[in-house]
């Protein structure tokens, strides 16, 4: 065991955040802490690493073990370059390397006695250098930087010029290179693109130490975690398995806890009614029986009300009017900033009802495309047109749709005056604003809170084309699931940019990947994209010896219409196979019934009936033989 937390408790004024939280992390174990926003996950991490003191309980790190901690917004400063900042982690190896070079020079002119001493020193130095990974640390450093999304051109950038997200990536790189016995990460995927998240997953899976993560990235947790520690209503519960395993078990436990609570409340109410009725009789016997029941009632250990079952909370998206079948047509669209070309000669169409996810590395132009489509930025060339009756609802990361001086309640009620107070509160509660929170001013909210308000407003709009830029950023898992359900039931059209692979897998019917300055089209969700990615991007590979040239969708042979036809054919084959299997199953049952009738002693002497059954049995067997052949063909 590398880490033990026993009965950790923490309160802020009257708000109890953590109560008797206990769990442990084994050597080499990969574990995750989950819970809604405000549940106390980050507070728990800060207590573990010593940045905050617990009111009660004990945190124990095994003797001789080391840990490294990455906060959500790691603060780095100074004039070091990105490369030098990471190189500072390997300072011990750099000193050893310098000593080895100095010893080599000293050996050249040394006499025999001195040479013997120097050779022993040299052997000791090289052994320590090799054991510490000295011969590989530069390539390791470069691999970590590239894995986290930095290009070689960016290695020489000064830390002082970086954005907050870039600084967090540098801090993550330093932590990984330190290789502590226990890595503790708070939302490590927030500032990473899909490529970098995938690289980090592989790195952590192969990491020879233990890992403890706080994350809302369910795809990431599914791949990494072997244990889930849930913080709910200040208590901690441990589940073995990844996120999907946890979600299934949690739902079962939640349903059982809710049923137990409802049943107990029903029994308490029933007993109270009986007691009241007995007292109303106003007789000595009945009063004594009432008192007896009261004593029994007082001894009951009343169950806490479980957190609300998410199924009780729904968001409904309903377009005011139905758009035409052709929702969006993009022709020859190009955009560049200074010398950086984002995309060139892009062509695609979007039909009514499609849910299209736009993915790609950071800085490729995904958000810029959305701004062009929403007339917030001009394209350099090309055009796009909206179909008939298309009404856009836009969610942007800067939240321009909000009014800073209004309260949350006013933001919704002014926009939708027909909604009742209860309806407004229910919508805000779905995005984690409850009680007095609804009277906070927009200007006093954090970036994540503003994002949730923007999303709440959008969910109430009557738009039939939703354009969303990173809609799941800063949402906890429960809010993401509510949004996913709302989008899946939405009858309009959706275009969104996201790095949330679990969200994409649940909501996308089509993916456009922005790569090599063009879009590659996939008719399917994220699982389908992973399956087909290598095939469809093979034609986009560019020789390193020549300048990169824009590749149009037609040149890469991934025309979306052609792909859609192929997918339709595949679905038809799958349906035919299913129908064939159903027919075979019915005929097998019929064959068995006919055989039973043939062997029935009651008709053994009825020749006419036996001939009829035999004839029908032969027909069934012939039809089955044909179906078996058909099934074999379809299955192949």
* Per-residue pLDDT tens digits for 245-266: 999 998 888 888 888 988 999 9
Residue 359 lies in a domain: yes
Is the Cβ–Cβ distance between 463 and 392 less than 8 Å? yes
Same domain, 536 and 587: no
Q: Residue 451 pLDDT more than 50? A: yes
pLDDT digits (tens, 9 = 90+) for 521-536: 999 999 999 888 877 6
Tell me, what's the pLDDT at 174? 93
Please check whether residue 207 lies inside any domain of the structure.
no
Cβ pair 300, 264 in contact under 8 A = yes
Is 490 a member of any domain?
yes
State the Cα–Cα distance between residues 55 and 43, nearest whole angstrom: 12
The answer on 372 and 355 residing in a single domain is yes
pTM: 0.69
Query: What is the structure's pLDDT at 551?
Result: 40
pLDDT value of position 327: 94
In this structure, what CATH number is given to the domain that contains residue 600? 1.10.287
| One domain for residues 259 and 354 | no
Cβ contact 351:390 at 8 Å: no
The CATH number given to whatever domain includes residue 426 is 3.40.50.300
The fraction of the chain above a pLDDT of 70, given in percent, is 91
pLDDT given at position 218: 92
Q: Are residues 285 and 407 in the same domain?
A: no
Q: Indicate whether 630 pLDDT > 80.
A: no
Say whether both 574 and 534 belong to one domain.
no
Tens of pLDDT, residues 50-79? 999 999 999 999 999 999 999 887 768 888
Domain residues for the domain of 495 are: 326-561
Q: What is the count of structural domains for the chain? A: 3
553 and 574 housed in the same domain: no
Which H or E element spans position 270?
helix 243-281
Residue 162 lies in a domain: no
How far apart are the C-alpha atoms of 461 and 415, rounded to whole Å? 9
586-606 pLDDT tens trace:
888 888 888 888 788 788 778
Composition of the chain by helix, strand, coil, percent to 5: 50, 20, 30
Residue 315 in this model has a pLDDT that exceeds 70: no
Evaluate whether residue 161 is within a structural domain.
Answer: no
- Are 450 and 374 within one domain? yes
Burial of 78 (0-12, 13-18, 19+ CB in 10 A): exposed
Question: 348-369, pLDDT tens digit by residue?
Answer: 999 999 999 999 988 889 989 9
Q: Is residue 142 part of a domain?
A: no
Classify residue 119: in a domain, yes or no: no
């Amino acid at each position: 065991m590398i880490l033990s937390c026993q009965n950790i408790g923490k309160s802020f004024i009257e708000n109890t955040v953590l109560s008797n939280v206990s769990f442990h992390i084994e050597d080499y174990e990969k574990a995750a802490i989950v819970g809604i926003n405000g549940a106390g996950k980050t507070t728990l991490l800060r207590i573990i690493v010593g940045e905050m003191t617990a009111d009660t309980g004990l945190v124990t790190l095994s003797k001789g073990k080391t840990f490294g901690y990455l906060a959500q917004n790691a603060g780095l400063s100074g004039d070091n370059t990105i490369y030098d900042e990471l190189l500072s982690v390997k300072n011990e190896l750099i000193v050893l390397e310098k000593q080895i070079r100095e010893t080599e020079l000293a050996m050249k002119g040394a006499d025999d006695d001195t040479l013997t001493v120097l050779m022993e020193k040299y052997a000791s130095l090289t052994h320590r250098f090799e054991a510490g990974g000295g011969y590989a640390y530069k390539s390791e450093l470069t691999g970590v930087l590239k894995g986290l999304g930095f290009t070689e051109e960016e290695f020489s950038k000064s830390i002082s010029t970086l954005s907050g997200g870039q600084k967090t990536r540098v801090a993550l790189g330093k932590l990984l290179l330190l290789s502590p016995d226990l890595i503790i990460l708070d939302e490590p995927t927030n500032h990473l693109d899909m490529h970098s998240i995938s690289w980090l997953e592989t790195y952590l899976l192969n990491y020879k130490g233990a890992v403890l993560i706080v994350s809302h990235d369910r795809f990431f947790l599914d791949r990494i975690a072997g244990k889930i520690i849930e913080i709910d209503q200040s208590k901690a519960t441990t589940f073995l398995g990844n996120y999907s395993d946890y979600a299934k078990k949690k739902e079962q436990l939640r349903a059982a806890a809710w049923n137990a609570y409802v049943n107990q409340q029903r029994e308490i109410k029933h007993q109270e009614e009986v007691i009241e009725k007995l007292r109303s009789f106003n007789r000595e016997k009945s009063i004594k029986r009432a008192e007896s029941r009261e004593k029994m009632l007082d001894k009951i250990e009343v169950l806490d009300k479980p957190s609300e079952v998410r199924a009780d909370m729904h968001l409904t998206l309903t377009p005011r009017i139905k758009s035409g079948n052709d929702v969006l047509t993009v022709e020859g669209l190009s955009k560049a900033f200074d010398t950086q070309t984002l995309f060139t000669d892009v062509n695609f169409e979007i039909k009514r009802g499609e849910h299209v996810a736009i993915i790609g590395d950071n800085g490729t132009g995904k958000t810029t495309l959305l701004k062009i489509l929403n007339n917030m930025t001009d394209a350099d060339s090309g055009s796009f047109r909206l179909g008939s009756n298309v009404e856009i609802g836009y969610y942007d990361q800067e939240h321009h749709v909000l009014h800073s001086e209004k309260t949350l309640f006013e933001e919704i009620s002014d926009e939708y005056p027909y909604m009742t107070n209860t309806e407004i509160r229910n919508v805000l509660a779905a995005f984690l604003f409850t009680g007095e929170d609804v009277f906070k001013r927009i200007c006093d909210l954090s970036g994540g809170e503003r994002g949730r308000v923007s999303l709440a407003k959008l969910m109430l709009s009557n738009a039939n084309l939703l354009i969303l830029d990173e809609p799941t950023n800063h949402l906890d898992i429960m809010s993401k699931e509510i949004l996913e359900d709302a989008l899946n039931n939405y009858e309009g059209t959706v275009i969104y940019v996201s790095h949330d692979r679990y969200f994409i897998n649940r909501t996308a019917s089509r993916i456009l990947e922005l790569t090599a300055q063009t879009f590659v089209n996939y008719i399917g969700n994220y699982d389908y994209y992973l399956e087909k990615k290598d095939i469809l991007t093979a034609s986009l590979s560019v020789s390193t010896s020549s300048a990169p040239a824009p590749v149009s969708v037609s040149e890469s042979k991934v025309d979306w219409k052609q792909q859609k036809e192929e997918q339709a054919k595949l679905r038809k084959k799958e349906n035919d196979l299913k129908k064939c299997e159903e027919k075979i199953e019915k005929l097998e049952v019929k064959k068995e019934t006919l055989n039973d009738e043939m062997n029935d002693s009651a008709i053994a002497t009825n020749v006419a009936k036996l001939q009829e059954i035999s004839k029908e049995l032969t027909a069934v067997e012939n039809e089955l033989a044909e179906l078996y052949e058909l099934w074999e063909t379809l299955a192949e």
